[in-house]
Structure 1
């Protein structure tokens, strides 16, 4: 898959609706949105932007479109994590894990458990 453009915070929130709910019409996005509800045209513009960026596709139903994700949440998460590690840790995954341990965001025990899981997966 080609490199995807970054998402704004609001675009990522919209994508989460698609990942959780599956295909949606813009009017359904309006209904799902918290108060104050965004205008239909605002959401329609954002959805078309997500489509232009390669995150959504659509199926026509008469004069309206139902949009669906083209990128899975897992793929998005992997790409986002990879971008953070490239940008802030010079592409060093070891550096990222070391920072988590140093900041006490992950314990040594959790790190050992992670290594055990990886070793089991590689053996299996």
Structure 2
């Protein structure tokens, strides 16, 4: 699924929509923080977001029920990849260096992150041998010996 760019206003509305997941226009008007936009403005953005593939609609009587189609995590990933491509040579290391330089991430944060990752790794468990299963699935061929004995008797 191709993800399109959103304007700042569209992103702000999508933040609310992702929290609601499935909603009606009246739900948006109730949940939107002050200053509330005009209902026609929200309605216009809903149509745009449907066209961009971020929302789907289902008609229920005279009103529409909207559902988010693109999860917030997918949009975050899209934005981060775009940022990485445009400014960081598609390098996660360059992004990390930048975040460390502007002090958005500290070395202590990284140490704590990797400490958690190391502690949560499961131990490697030796796989059990399947001697009985092998014996059942691949029985030793004894037919040749029986055939040889029959030929000798004849």
How do 1:1-124 and structure 2 match up within 5 A? 1-2=1-2, 4-118=3-117, 123-124=121-122
Distance 2:92 2:38 in 1: 42
Give the structure 1 partner of residue 150 of structure 2.
none
* Greater gyration radius: 2
Distance 1:85 1:119 in 2: 27
What secondary structure is seen at the aligned counterpart in 2 of 1:77? Answer: helix
Measure how far apart 1:120 and its partner are.
5.9
5+ residue gaps, structure 1: none
Give the TM-score, by structure 1 length: 0.85
What secondary structure is seen at the aligned counterpart in 1 of 2:36? Answer: coil
What secondary structure is seen at the aligned counterpart in 1 of 2:81? Answer: helix
Distance 2:85 2:114 in 1: 22
Deviation track 1:75-116 (CA, whole Å, cap 9, x = no partner) reads 111111121111111211110001111222211222233344
Measure how far apart 1:63 and its partner are.
2.1
Measure how far apart 1:73 and its partner are.
1.2
Q: What is the count of residue pairs matched by the alignment?
A: 122
Instruction: Work out which structure has the larger RCO, using CA pairs closer than 8 Å and 6 or more positions apart in sequence.
Output: 1
CA-atom RMSD in angstroms: 1.9
Give the TM-score, by structure 2 length: 0.70
Distance 1:117 1:86 in 2: 29
